[in-house]
Amino acid sequence: MSQPQPPAFHARGTTPFAVSPELDASAQVATTPISLPCSDGRQLAATWFQPPSGMPVRAVAVIGCATAVPASYYRHFAEWMARRGYAVLSFDYRGIATSKAALQPGEDVRLRDWARVDMAAALHAAHERRRAESAAQGHDLGLLWVGHSLGGNAVGLVPGFETQVDAVLGVAAQVAYVGHWSGWARVQAWTFFHVVLPLLVRLLGRAPGRVLGPRAQDLPAGAAREWAAWGRTPGFLFGDPTLASERAYHRFSGAVHLWSITDDHLFGPAAAVDALAREFSGARVARHTVAPADLGVKKIEHFGPFRRDLGAQLWPRLLAPLEAATPKLAARLRP
């Protein structure tokens, strides 16, 4: 028997989308590296991707990375969004890539710390940028959170997200409890959470990036242990009683568009994405699905959506329905 869905929950399927005006791929996007201050005094490496000269900022966006995936993986997507008029903030979690030094030797970090402290720092910077741009332009601009995997499923732990974010785009963002997998993929997920992650931490003191995916870097011990514990817990992070007072998903009332990928069997099965959609019980939720055949390619999988070679076919498909559902993101875009 299927589980009840929020009233605004749309069934899976290929979703029609409006094709936006062709973007000028040669338009120069300015990048501004910054140091992102966290509430605990640590500094994260981050980058603003600015719209081309002469184009006003249409909205502000933050990109939340997948687990242990460096922000550089999302660079081409950030540039594409900037050409679309967004001011885009991309950043590395502490201990990862250009923010490796923010996690000092001998320290550890959990997934919840990346959400509650690191993502919070990025959201604060984006909110301040949105306020400044809105004041300069004389109208309210929107703030979009783009989350890949962890970057989408942990957004409800970010302090203030429910009042500062206007829309959430989740790509392969999921409730990663092993019970949402089926068949052989469930055996793989069970082994990953029950055996592989705990054993690697015990032997190496970390989870090497090569076992996490083609884009991932080494995962600190605390983050690996928490990921494994959540994966074994019904509800994933939603089943962790220590986070009960911090989860704000149900208080968000904006648009939430969650995408699953039909050949993402290992990290983001459709049932796990559906489970995340149900947590946004007060939002305007839409569920979308994309298959490799929709793009004329053989595979997408978990780490394919932000590849440059798929951008022209996929990225307008991801963003256009959400822009249409969120006036603050669609307003005042120059053709």
The mean pLDDT of the chain is 92
pLDDT of residue 176: 98
pLDDT of residue 24: 64
pLDDT of residue 106: 86
The mean per-residue pLDDT over the stretch 169-186 comes to: 97
The mean per-residue pLDDT over the stretch 23-48 comes to: 91
Instruction: Give the architecture-level CATH label for domain 30-179+246-328.
Output: 3-Layer(aba) Sandwich (3.40)
Q: Rounded distance, CA 111 to CA 33, Å?
A: 24
Tokens of 186: 């469930």
pLDDT tens-digit series, residues 57-68:
999 999 999 999
State the sign of the Cα–Cα–Cα–Cα dihedral 273, 275, 280, 286.
positive
> Residue 309's pLDDT band (boundaries 50, 70, 90)?
very high
pLDDT of residue 23: 61
pLDDT of residue 213: 83
Q: How many CB atoms neighbour CB 312 within 10 A?
A: 13
Question: Cα Rg for the chain, rounded, in angstroms?
Answer: 19
The mean per-residue pLDDT over the stretch 305-309 comes to: 96
pLDDT of residue 25: 66
Tokens of 145: 């959170």
**Residue 10 pLDDT > 90, yes or no?**
no
